[in-house]
C-alpha cells in the first residue's frame, strides 16, 4: 500500500476517534462544551500545519477538510436540525445552517469558499490541491473556528 494513502487513513482514523470521543463526552454546561470543541479543533489544525511543514500537504488537506466537515456536522447537531445529515452535501448543510440562523452571512460566505477545497481534499479521485491551497484551507478553517466560539 502507498505510504501516503496509509498516512491519510491513519490521520482520518485519528480525527474520527477524537471527534467521536468529544461527541460522547458528557459536558455539564454549554461553555465548557464549546471550549472542549475549540481545543479539539485547534490541536487538529496544529497537526495539519505540522504535516504541511513536513511537506505532507495531502494529509494536511485531509485533516483541514475533515475538520470543516466535522464543524458543520457539529453545528447541525447543536441546532438539532431534523434532516438526515448523510443525505446532504456540505454546501446544502451550510445553507440550512444559515437558514436556521446558526451564523451570520459573512460566516456562510467564508464556509462556501472553503467547501470546494475541502471536498477536493477529501476525494482522493480528484486532483490534489497545491501546498498553497492547503495553507489557505488551514488558515481559513482556523479563522472560521476562532470566530465561531
On the question of pLDDT at 149 being above 80, the answer is no
Q: What is the pLDDT of residue 113?
A: 93
Give me the percent of the chain exceeding a pLDDT of 70: 73
Q: What is the pLDDT of residue 31?
A: 47
Distance CA 51, CA 2 (A): 17
Range of the domain at 14: 3-148
CA angle 49, 136, 118 (to 5 degrees): 90
Domain total in the chain: 1
Chain segment 13-68, per-residue pLDDT in tens: 666 656 665 555 443 444 445 667 788 888 889 989 988 998 888 888 888 888 89
Q: What is the pLDDT of residue 39?
A: 83
CATH number of the domain at 128, please.
1.20.120
Chain segment 66-106, per-residue pLDDT in tens: 889 888 888 888 888 877 767 788 899 999 899 988 888 99
**Mean pLDDT over the full length of the chain:** 79
Phi/psi for 33 (5° steps) reads -65, -40
On the question of pLDDT at 107 being above 80, the answer is yes
Q: What is the pLDDT of residue 29?
A: 41
Q: What is the pLDDT of residue 1?
A: 47
Amino acid at each position: 500500500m502507498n505510504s501516503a494513502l496509509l498516512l491519510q487513513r491513519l490521520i482520518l482514523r485519528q480525527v474520527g476517534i477524537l471527534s467521536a470521543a468529544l461527541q460522547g463526552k458528557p459536558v455539564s454546561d454549554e461553555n465548557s462544551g464549546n471550549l472542549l470543541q475549540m481545543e479539539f479543533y485547534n490541536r487538529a489544525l496544529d497537526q495539519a500545519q505540522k504535516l504541511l511543514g513536513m511537506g505532507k500537504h495531502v494529509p494536511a488537506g485531509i485533516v483541514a477538510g475533515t475538520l470543516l466537515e466535522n464543524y458543520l456536522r457539529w453545528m447541525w447537531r447543536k441546532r438539532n436540525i431534523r434532516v438526515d445529515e448523510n443525505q446532504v452535501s456540505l454546501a446544502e448543510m451550510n445553507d440550512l445552517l444559515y437558514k436556521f440562523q446558526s451564523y451570520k452571512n459573512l460566516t456562510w460566505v467564508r464556509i462556501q469558499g472553503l467547501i470546494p477545497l475541502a471536498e477536493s481534499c477529501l476525494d482522493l479521485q480528484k486532483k490534489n490541491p497545491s501546498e498553497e491551497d492547503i495553507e489557505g484551507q488551514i488558515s481559513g478553517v482556523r479563522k472560521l473556528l476562532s470566530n465561531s466560539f
